[in-house]
Every structure is written in C-alpha cells, then in structure tokens.
Amino acid sequence: MTLNLNISTFSDIKNIAKRPFVIAGPCSAETEEQVLKSAEAIHNSGNVSLFRAGIWKPRTRPGSFEGVGEIGLEWLKKVKENFNMPVTVEVANALHVQKCLKAGIDVLWIGARTTANPFAVQEIADALKGTDIPVLIKNPVNPDFELWIGAFERFNKAGINKIAAIHRGFSSFEKTSFRNTPMWDIAIKLKQILPELPIIGDPSHIAGNTELIPFLSQKMIDLDFDGLMIETHISPKTAWSDAKQQLTPFELDELLKRLIVRNVESTNINFKNKLEELRKQIDNIDEEIIHKIADRMKTAQEIGKYKKDNKVTILQVSRWEDIIKERVFLANALGLSSEFMEAFLPLIHEESIRIQTKIMNEE
C-alpha cells in the first residue's frame, strides 16, 4: 500500500511528556449542570488533557436520545472558560462542522458510523478546508482497514494534518464479551503502516461495561497507544446514553493511578543488554524454525512426487487426523496450548498440499 500522509502529530501527542494523552467526558452532553459538574471533577483530577461530550448522537436505532444539539456548544464554551480545558465534539456533517468552528471547539472527532461512509467523510473534510483544526478519526464500525485509511487520506487531502486515530473496536453479529470486538491486529497494522500517526484507544466503546475498562486501558498502553478516550460522567447511573460503560471522575482517577505506563525503550543498560541477548536467542530460534519448515516442505515435495508416480491422492484424512492428535499431544506436554497448535498445524498442512498439488499438475 502506498501512503503519503502529511501528519504533524496532533497536539504533538507523540512527544508529550505525560503519557497517555487522556480524553474524558460524558458520552453525551445532557444538561448544562451535568456538563459543568462532569468537567469540573475531571479538571480537578489534573490527568485529563481534553474534554469530550457528544451533542449530535448517531444512535443505531431511532427513538433513543439523539443529543441536545447546538445548545450543547454553549455549555462547552463554558467548560473552556471556567476550567481552561480544550474541548472536543463529534461531527457527522458539514453543518456540524460550521457550528463547531463558530463556537471555537478545539478538536473534532469523527464517529465510527461516519468513518464507514466515504460521502460523509468527504463532506466533512471539504467543510474543513482552510482550517487546521485537529481531527480524531474513529475506526469504521466494520473491520475494513482500507476504509479507515481512506478517511485519513480524505482529511489529509483537504489540508488537515493534525490527525489521530481512535481505536473503538468493531461491531459483529455474534455476541461476544465485548460490545465491539477489539481486533488488535488492525490497530497493530495501523501502527506499522503509519508509525507517526498517534493512536488513541477507546476502551469504553470496546467494553460496553465498566468492568473491562481498566484491563483494556492497560492493554492499550502495553500496545504503545498514545492516548485513551474514556467516557466519564458525574452520575453514570442516570446517563441518557451509554450508561453501562461510563465511569465516575473518581473511578477514572483510580484507573489512571493504577495504569502502568511502560515505555518502548528503557535507558537502563542492564535491561538493554539482557533484552538484546534474549532477542538474539529469539532471532536464532526463528531462523531454526524457518530452516525446519523449509526442510519439511522439501520432504513434502518428495512425497508429492512419490504419490504422483503411484497414483495416490494428496490427502489421506486418517493420516492428517493422526498428525493433529500426535502433535497436539506433544505440544501440550511441552506447555503449548491446543488452540495454538490447532491454528498453526493447518497452515503447515495447507502449504504442503499446495506444493503437492503443483507437482501433481506438472507435465
């Protein structure tokens, strides 16, 4: 994939001394009092860099609370004035953008349902031309990596360089213990392809409940995410949207206090030496594994020729079943899980079949 994004890391999130960059605030702005009380408590903690509140809420089904609308912008202006805290709002169309820019909202965010729609993303990007407001882009609701990348590109083409990604998980038909499955591979791939792009984790929308939020937050920090967006409400039980997943400002503080922020690097020389030694071991083991796999494939090739000469099929189900049983047994005895072997062995087997099929089809 060729990607040529010009990203001037939003608010220098990548370089701020205080990791993680924390965004907190209620799912929705409900009343002036609720917004200001939530903001005051969040501000007093001293741990939060940006206050969030949704005023236009993209609800999956009609009939639930769809946000207070424009009046919420007035409340957010008061948050800025009273607590000197920058604020962020979700925008889903050009009109929202205009209203937010007029109200002096500091940062915009694009919701997961909007990122999934290139027309909406383009409309918002066009409305932002000529500004340099930072934009946080949530992953699309569906696990479509290209669609997420496409949104970064659309904003970038419109001249927006201050962008960051928000990983909020992906919806699925299947019921799982998460409200939205994390699919960590997608976030890791994004880090690989765009290392300069800050990634903010949204454990609230992945979890869907408060219990999993500390675990997910720690996991995100351990995956070297740059920040966290955590829904925080002065009275979660009475929240008008996402009541089950919002923390109180006190709970947010406790979570942040317990968070262990590990760095990608350490200056401790003993640590560095030990790590280097262990990494060399890993490199050597990987090399051995690859050599062994190559040897195995060569043998599979020989077997393929032999089967061909004797007009025998590539697959013998009973042999394959025996292999799985024996290898899983051995792996278990060595402390490896059955799940791992059951995922790993078919990959090897498929490659052997591919090699033998090629031989069978040769003239």
DSSP state of 129: T
Report if residue 91 touches Mn ion, rule: CB under 5 A.
no
Report if residue 76 touches ligand PEP, rule: CB under 6 A.
no
Report if residue 168 touches ligand PEP, rule: CB under 6 A.
yes
Report if residue 43 touches ligand PEP, rule: CB under 6 A.
no
Q: Are 89 and 102 in contact, with CB atoms under 8 Å apart?
A: no
Q: Are 130 and 99 in contact, with CB atoms under 8 Å apart?
A: no
Per CB under 6 A, which region of 108-116, 268-276, 277-285, 296-304 contacts ligand PEP? 108-116
Say which amino acid occupies 144. Answer: D
Q: Which is nearer to ligand PEP, 47 or 204 (CB)?
A: 204
Which of residues 205, 227, 240, 255 is near ligand PEP by CB under 6 A? 205
| Vertex 176: Cα angle to 173 and 179 (nearest 5) | 80
Q: Are 70 and 55 in contact, with CB atoms under 8 Å apart?
A: yes
Q: Which is nearer to Mn ion, 27 or 256 (CB)?
A: 27
Least distance from ligand PEP to the Cβ atom of residue 225, Å: 15
Report if residue 125 touches Mn ion, rule: CB under 5 A.
no
Least distance from ligand PEP to the Cβ atom of residue 187, Å: 14
Q: Which is nearer to ligand PEP, 7 or 56 (CB)?
A: 56
Residue 112 binds what, of ligand PEP, Mn ion, none (CB under 5 to 8 Å, by partner type)?
ligand PEP
Least distance from Mn ion to the Cβ atom of residue 118, Å: 23
Which of residues 72, 86, 111, 140 is near ligand PEP by CB under 6 A? 111
**Number of shown-chain residues binding Mn ion (CB under 5 A):** 2
Report if residue 233 touches ligand PEP, rule: CB under 6 A.
no
**Could you tell me which residues come within 8 angstroms of residue 320 by beta carbon, excluding any fewer than 6 positions away?**
349
Please list the helix, strand and coil fractions of the chain in percent, rounded to the nearest 5, in that order.
Answer: 55, 10, 35
**Could you tell me which residues come within 8 angstroms of residue 68 by beta carbon, excluding any fewer than 6 positions away?**
28, 29, 30, 31, 55
Q: Which of residues 14-43 bind Mn ion (CB under 5 A)?
A: 27
Of 207, 189, 191, the C-alpha closest to 199 is 191
- Cα–Cα distance for residue pair 183/115, rounded to 1 Å: 17
- Cα–Cα distance for residue pair 66/58, rounded to 1 Å: 7
Counting every residue written for the chain, the total comes to: 363
Q: Which is nearer to ligand PEP, 154 or 168 (CB)?
A: 168
Residue ranges binding ligand PEP (CB under 6 A) = 27, 54, 58, 111-113, 138, 168, 205
**Contacts to Mn ion by CB under 5 A:** 27, 242
